[in-house]
Amino acid sequence: MTNPTKASTEGASSFARVQAGMARRRAAERRFKLLGRAAVGIGLLFLAVLLTSIVSRGYTAFWQTEMRLDVVLVADEIDPEGTRLVDTLHKADYSALIKQSLRDMFPEVSSRRDRFALYGLVSNGAAFDLRDRVMADPSLIGTTVSLWVPADDDVDMLMKGHIDREGPEADRRIKDTTLGWIDQLEADGRLALRFNTAFFTKGDSRDPELAGIRGALMGTIFTLVVTLALSFPLGVAAAVYLEEFAPKNRWTDLIEVNINNLAAVPSIVFGLLGLAVFINVFGLPRSAPLLGGLVLTLMTLPTIIIASRAALKSVPPSIRDAALGIGASPMQATLFHVIPLALPGMLTGTIIGMAQALGETAPLLMIGMVAFIADVPQGVFDPATALPVQIYLWADSPERAFVERTSAAIMVLLAFLALMNLVAVLLRKRFERRW
Amino acid sequence: MTQTPVLLVLLLALASAAYYFGCKRAFRVADGRIRNLHSLPGYYGLYVALWAALPALLVLGVWLALQGSMITRMVVASLPEPIQQLGPDRLNLVINDIRNLVSGNIVSGEPDAPTLAAAEYYRSLLGTSRGLLFVVVLSVAGLGGWFGYSKIRPQHRARNGVERIVNGVLIACSTVAILTTVGIVLSVLFESIRFFQAVPITEFLFGLEWSPQIALRADQAGSSGAFGAVPLFAGTLLITLIAMTVAVPIGLMSAIYLSEYASAHVRAIAKPLLEVLAGIPTVVYGFFAALTVAPFIRDSGSILGLDVASESALAAGLVMGMMIIPFVSSLSDDVINSVPQSLRDGAYGMGATSSETIRRVIFPAALPGIVGAVLLAVSRAIGETMIVVMAAGLASNLTANPLEAVTTVTVQIVTLLVGDQEFDSPKTLAAFALGLVLFIVTLALNFVALYIVRKYREQYD
Amino acid sequence: MSTQGQAMAFKLDAEPVDTQKPTVGRDVRETVGEVRVADPRVRCTDVNVHYGDKHAIKNISLDVGKGEVLAMIGPSGCGKSTFLRCLNRMNDTVRECRVTGEILLDGEDINASHIDVVPLRARVAMVFQKPNPFPKSIYENVAFGPRIHGLCNSKSDLDVVVESSLRKANLWDEVKDRLDDVGTGLSGGQQQRLCIARAIAIEPEVILMDEPCSALDPISTAKVEQLIEELRQQFSIVIVTHSMQQAARVSQRTAYFHMGDLIEVSETDRLFIKPRHQLTEDYITGRFG
């Protein structure tokens, strides 16, 4: 303030001092605000970097380089006796046919070493694709079929530009001769990036181009079904008891403190519990989704109980009074009047708990859901792995092609998480009630 | 295992039948007039149904839980003397073979006669057990139903009975949490005690060397291994410290900014976005740390002429800090928001600027709550597993240099327990001892933190 | 308005001639009485406040004289607190609140764009309804203002300011031996006097008090009222109260607010004895409020 009349007033001296300090204080204020803004900015930057790094590494995994082969289905090779028995068809040497078709395309390749390299262009899975094709339609035998088979992961990486063509040959996973073949194949239109269905339909594999998340996904689904089936009723029942019926005494205090503490116990400790109690004492099968579900139930239970109690708390006492006032028993008031009103909140809490369980890895490592399992599990007793564990396993694999698959699996996992949280948010919005 | 669902369906059917007959009988004893009954007929039905189902379910659960170990014990007892004399790990192999034979899986090598006999015995025991289970469960259900049925009289207080039972079930559900804690304590405690019989507790707590590589055979060189956990504690602390250095200032400042400065609009966007960080699974952070952050730090280090390990504590700590930012920020946000508006008014009313109000009034007032939040975050960081497993490495270095690789308690638990385990080797048991330490430390931290936060809230309620 | 010399009244034609009955009807909303004083510390002209769609303060013009205690009374929700908060721009902290009109402090518009609220609030300090000492020691509470405003260069200066402020607030004798105790540990009345000490430590020109005694017992109230009387020597004081007795005891002038309108301003004695507006009479005779 630059008011000359100020000089005459009695607060002048202190006011002048205040005025004198203002520049410094405003600067401090700006700095502080800037710090806050920077903090939020850094947080958001972290998020952006994290998501970008995952997506930019992973989106290519949804496409897979495939190679078009013309395979002569020589009847003598597949089914010399012409019986067309399923067993015979199943056992035939299809990879020989595939190799033959490769040799046909590159007749000039003769040395043993080169041929080996040539066969390596195609994935090991190509023979299985061919077999499935033939078994589905045995009349194809004797004809020449043209089919797309997955290319080897190195070819895939090259096509996606992850392998540097110009680098010294010795450091490259693809040598110059092979490069030549690949270029020729590409020029012939025999190499193309196509949508990677195997990623969604197959189980795990040692070969990146054959590895899919179906097995892990089913494992996760079975695990979560068990978790949901156990933790929702248990959690709601516990919350109802603690919030509505429990007397205030030391025992319920103990339960309460205990639940709050359990919510913050590291998840790996629940894994130790599962290992020592469920496997060693009760003899439940290792690696089974049932076991995973039990462990995750114990882990998510505190979350669900705390959320459900909050939901019950938000139902105004007037509802209970109204029910009690017309002669309902406390149990009836709770079951028929309070719980229905609290249900959306409880469901929201449960979904959030499930989302937590979905992303959980450490306890599953403890109970053996970390083994290499190529088969897709069919039930809660089959050995299985889970999506986050699959991510962990793939992240450990040395092949370059697993990096993009890991990122892609992460994208799928994050998509599921986003979906669950979205449902929770919508549920909350839809049923949100202000009393 | 398919019999269990069948049994459950049967029990459900029995319970429904019990409900139906219970209702009918209630009508009959009341001469068709509900007014004569103490409770609504449905409650009589429920009463009978609960009597039919609950005891049977209890029997079923206990039976299934104990079946496996009981049968195994009986089979082992039937094995020839020399096999029983084998060490526990060899015996386990035999048992595994037997189990595999029973379930029709491929067995390692050609099974010998005693194993085959044992497998046969196992199978027959299992068959008996299953048959017996059917009979016992169904008869318990029948008896229970009959008991409930016989109690129906007009003046019988069925609703109160049902409610007592439901109340009992609710209490049972709420004790699951207690049982979990007890289970955790017992499981880690027992195995830890076994561990401390092999390795003195003082060596474990104060030893400076950690190399749990136990030789496969007892006569192999260096078979003892070293179980001094200090390097693990130090590594855990180092990474936690780095994580806190990242998370506490950023989390706290963003909470302050969002609650005191940001417009409603910015807050509505930035807050949920920051919370996304909390919802991302830790395995994703681990992958990010190992593949993006660690190489980045190593490369930046080499530009600066620093020698950075490819699995540096810095990378793991940094990413862990990232993960904990929203945790700190939302807890501090709650704490800051519960500082009464009157204190802000008081400061503003005397001409304090926003930052002066925050630093000199709100922050000191909220300090206990913030300390509680930070303690919770520390406990979270100590127990965090996947990030360190994937990014921190296994080398047990006793160092304070964040550019070197260190290992943590959780990493070692995972390393020791993933793969084949033998429950009598100190190597496996050491994991439980580490688990015990982890549990005690985090429990203490949580306890103190929750206590502080609760006291803090009471102050302003 | 004899004490303030040449005061002017808006509604001269409504001036009652020694009748006891108010002459202005209930439906009239223009201000009756002497809104202006000769030597104002604060002069407000046509102040309006909107909260979103709500028109909380309507066209209020009012002066605060030097060395006077101005009481503002009226039924709850009449806008007296909102108006008080305009005087040091505390409404800035409330979102959706819009203030228009002119408020001059020593002739300068406090709502002008170049005015910083921080030094403004150092000149117009505020004491709140509920005692709100900071959760710090008594000493630190009083030292808070001087510290943030940089009024003292040394610890000994600060000691002097703290002591004199506590003395002025009639609190020194009660707390001088426990200056390091937490301020929140004092009794309600002591806390409120601590808040007043905190406000006078920054030597403001005006002290705004928003129902300062409503949370206090009668004895504490009496002490605070006595304090207000003493402080009048040095500061202009504007006090919002819903106790008419309190207004009558502590103030020289009283303003009566009704639903966002300033109904009547007079010397306190006159307002309570011979209200000129029917609404004022309704209120002071307890017909509503």
Give the pLDDT band (50/70/90) at residue B224.
Answer: low
Mean pLDDT of all residues in chain B? 85
Q: Per the CB < 8 Å rule, is B178 touching A282?
A: no
A-proximal residues of B, 377-396, CB under 8 Å: 379-380, 382-386, 389-390
Cα–Cα distances (Å) from A86 to A91, A134, B366, C119, in that order, read 9, 10, 75, 93
Answer yes or no: do B55 and B136 share one domain: yes
Q: Which domain holds residue B324?
A: 226-460
Higher pLDDT, B278 or B91: B278
Interchain CB contact of B277 with A (< 8 Å): yes
Q: How far is CA C202 from the centre of its chain?
A: 17
Mean pLDDT calculated for residue range B252-256: 94
- Which residue, B136, B134, B80, is CA-closest to B112? B80
| pLDDT tens digits, one per residue of C175-187 | 989 999 988 889 9
**Residue C138 included in any domain:** yes
Cβ(A36)–Cβ(B253) under 8 Å?
yes
- What are phi and psi for residue C61, nearest 5 degrees? -120, 130
List the single residue in C with minimal CA-CA distance to B363: C135
Q: What is the SS3 assignment for A92? A: coil
| pLDDT tens digits, one per residue of B22-51 | 888 888 888 877 777 788 888 888 888 888
- Specify the CATH number for the domain of residue B302: 1.10.3720.10
**Residue C22 included in any domain:** no
Mean pLDDT calculated for residue range C132-150: 91
- Which residue, B424, B207, B228, B389, is CA-closest to B316? B389
Amino acid in the structure at residue B30? A
Answer yes or no: do B130 and B264 share one domain: no
Cβ(A351)–Cβ(A416) under 8 Å?
no
| pLDDT tens digits, one per residue of C119-129 | 899 899 999 99
pLDDT of residue B421: 61
- Name which of B264, B350, B361 is nearest C199 (Cβ-Cβ): B350
**Residue B164 included in any domain:** no
Q: What is the SS3 assignment for A194? A: strand
Query: How many other β-carbons are positioned within 10 Å of the β-carbon of residue B307?
Result: 10
pLDDT of residue A346: 92
Distance CA B180, CA A270 (A): 9
- B76-83: Cβ within 8 A, 24+ apart: B78/B118, B78/B121, B79/B114, B79/B118, B80/B114, B83/B114
- Name which of C118, C202, C205 is nearest A25 (Cβ-Cβ): C118
Least confident of B191-200, B386-395, B411-420: B411-420
pLDDT of residue B31: 80
Cβ(A37)–Cβ(B257) under 8 Å?
yes
Interchain CB contact of A395 with B (< 8 Å): yes
Distance CA C223, CA C171 (A): 10
Answer yes or no: do B317 and B435 share one domain: yes
- Name which of A39, A50, A331 is nearest B250 (Cβ-Cβ): A39
Answer yes or no: do B301 and B435 share one domain: yes
Interchain CB contact of A15 with B (< 8 Å): no
- What are phi and psi for residue C266, nearest 5 degrees? -150, 175
| Most confidently predicted of A129-143, A337-351, B151-165, B419-433 | A337-351
Q: Per the CB < 8 Å rule, is B250 touching A264?
A: no
Least confident of A324-333, B61-70, C53-62, C106-115: B61-70
pLDDT of residue B3: 72
pLDDT of residue A186: 87
- Tally of structural domains, chain C: 1
pLDDT of residue C144: 93
Cβ(C207)–Cβ(C231) under 8 Å?
yes
| pLDDT tens digits, one per residue of A28-50 | 999 999 999 999 999 999 999 99
**Residue B41 included in any domain:** yes
SS (H, E, C) B256-273: HHHHHHCCHHHHHHHHHH
Cα–Cα distances (Å) from C284 to C10, C22, C246, C280, in that order, read 22, 12, 13, 6
Amino acid in the structure at residue B35? R
Q: Per the CB < 8 Å rule, is A14 touching C151?
A: yes
The set of residues, in sequence order, having a beta carbon less than 8 Å from that of A72 and lying 6+ positions away, is A97, A100, A101, A104, A144
Answer yes or no: do B105 and B234 share one domain: no
Q: A27 to chain C, minimum CA–CA distance in Å?
A: 13
Cβ(B314)–Cβ(B308) under 8 Å?
yes
Sign of the CA dihedral with A368 first, then A369, A374, and A377 last: positive
Q: Per the CB < 8 Å rule, is B361 touching C134?
A: yes
| Cα angle for residues B241, B244, B249 (degrees, 5° grid) | 140
Q: How far is CA B316 from the centre of its chain?
A: 23
Query: How many other β-carbons are positioned within 10 Å of the β-carbon of residue A400?
Result: 16
H helical segments located in A250-386: 250-262, 267-273, 289-313, 317-325, 330-333, 339-359, 362-366
Give the pLDDT band (50/70/90) at residue B105.
Answer: low
Mean pLDDT calculated for residue range B11-31: 87
| pLDDT tens digits, one per residue of A140-198 | 888 888 888 888 888 888 888 888 888 788 777 888 888 888 888 888 888 888 898 88
List the single residue in B with minimal CA-CA distance to C204: B350
**Residue B192 included in any domain:** no
Distance CA A109, CA A100 (A): 12
Q: Which domain holds residue C280?
A: 28-284
Share of chain A above pLDDT 70, in %: 96
SS (H, E, C) chain B: CCHHHHHHHHHHHHHHHHHHHHHHHHHHHCCCCHHHCCCCHHHHHHHHHHHHHHHHHHHHHHHHHHHHHHHHHHHHHHCCHHHHCCCHHHHHHHHHHHHHHHCCCCCCCCCCHHHHHHHHHHHHHHHHHHHHHHHHHHHHHHHHHHHHHHCCCCCCCHHHHHHHHHHHHHHHHHHHHHHHHHHHHHHHHHHHHHHHHHCCHHHHHHCCCEECCCCCCCCCCCCCCEECCHHHHHHHHHHHHHHHHHHHHHHHHHHHHHHHHCCHHHHHHHHHHHHHHHHCCHHHHHHHHHHHHHHHHHHHHHHCCCCCCCCCHHHHHHHHHHHHHHHHHHHHHHHHHCCCHHHHHHHHCCCCCHHHHHHHHHHHHHHHHHHHHHHHHHHHHHHCCHHHHHHCCCCCCCCCCCCCCCCCHHHHHHHHHCCCCCCCCHHHHHHHHHHHHHHHHHHHHHHHHHHHHHHHHHHHC
CB burial class (10 A; 0-12, 13-18, 19+) of residue A327?
exposed
Q: Per the CB < 8 Å rule, is A261 touching B443?
A: yes
Answer yes or no: do B364 and B263 share one domain: yes
**Residue C9 included in any domain:** no
| pLDDT tens digits, one per residue of B301-338 | 999 888 888 888 999 999 999 999 999 999 999 889 88
Cα–Cα distances (Å) from B175 to A251, A294, B343, C49, C289, in that order, read 10, 16, 42, 57, 56
Burial C2-36 (b: 16+ CB within 10 A, else e): eebeebebebeebeeeeeeebbbeeebbebbbbbb
- Angle, helices B294-303/B313-337, rounded to nearest 10 degrees: 110
Higher pLDDT, A366 or B73: A366
Q: B300 to chain A, minimum CA–CA distance in Å?
A: 17
Cβ(B177)–Cβ(A255) under 8 Å?
yes
- Report residue A318 as tokens: 């007037």
Answer yes or no: do B112 and B232 share one domain: no
**Residue B89 included in any domain:** yes
- DSSP classification of residue A265: S
Q: Per the CB < 8 Å rule, is B281 touching A358?
A: yes
The set of residues, in sequence order, having a beta carbon less than 8 Å from that of A114 and lying 6+ positions away, is A177
- Tally of structural domains, chain B: 2
Mean pLDDT of all residues in chain A? 87
pLDDT of residue B200: 87
- Binding partners of C (≥3 Cβ pairs within 8 A): A, B
Q: Per the CB < 8 Å rule, is B351 touching C117?
A: yes
**Residue B185 included in any domain:** no
Higher pLDDT, B137 or A13: B137
Give the pLDDT band (50/70/90) at residue B2.
Answer: low
| pLDDT tens digits, one per residue of C3-49 | 443 444 444 444 444 556 777 888 888 888 888 888 899 999 999 99
Higher pLDDT, B89 or A37: A37
Q: Report the run of H or E that residue A20 belongs to, with start and end.
A: helix A12-58
Q: B243 to chain C, minimum CA–CA distance in Å?
A: 31
Mean pLDDT calculated for residue range A107-112: 85
**Residue B161 included in any domain:** no
Q: Which residues of B touch C126 (CB under 8 A)?
A: 345, 349-350
pLDDT of residue B457: 77
Mean pLDDT calculated for residue range B390-418: 86
Q: Per the CB < 8 Å rule, is C150 touching A17?
A: yes
Q: Which residues of B touch A423 (CB under 8 A)?
A: none
Give the pLDDT band (50/70/90) at residue A88.
Answer: confident
Distance CA B7, CA B151 (A): 26
Q: How far is CA C264 from the centre of its chain?
A: 17
Residue for token pair 């130090």: B234
User: Of B111, B131, B156, which residue is a domain's last?
Assistant: B156
Q: Per the CB < 8 Å rule, is C122 touching A18?
A: yes
**Residue B281 included in any domain:** yes
- Binding partners of B (≥3 Cβ pairs within 8 A): A, C
Q: What is the SS3 assignment for A314? A: coil
Interchain CB contact of B262 with A (< 8 Å): yes
**Residue B187 included in any domain:** no
- DSSP classification of residue A213: S
* pLDDT at residue C84 is higher than 80: yes
Answer yes or no: do B267 and B398 share one domain: yes
* pLDDT at residue B149 is higher than 50: yes
Amino acid in the structure at residue A27? A
pLDDT of residue C4: 41
Mean pLDDT calculated for residue range C221-250: 91
Pairing of strands C54-65, C253-258: unpaired
Share of chain B above pLDDT 70, in %: 93
* pLDDT at residue B295 is higher than 60: yes
Q: Per the CB < 8 Å rule, is C149 touching A14?
A: yes
Q: Per the CB < 8 Å rule, is C123 touching A15?
A: yes
**Residue C143 included in any domain:** yes
- Specify the CATH number for the domain of residue C75: 3.40.50.300
Distance CA B116, CA A348 (A): 53
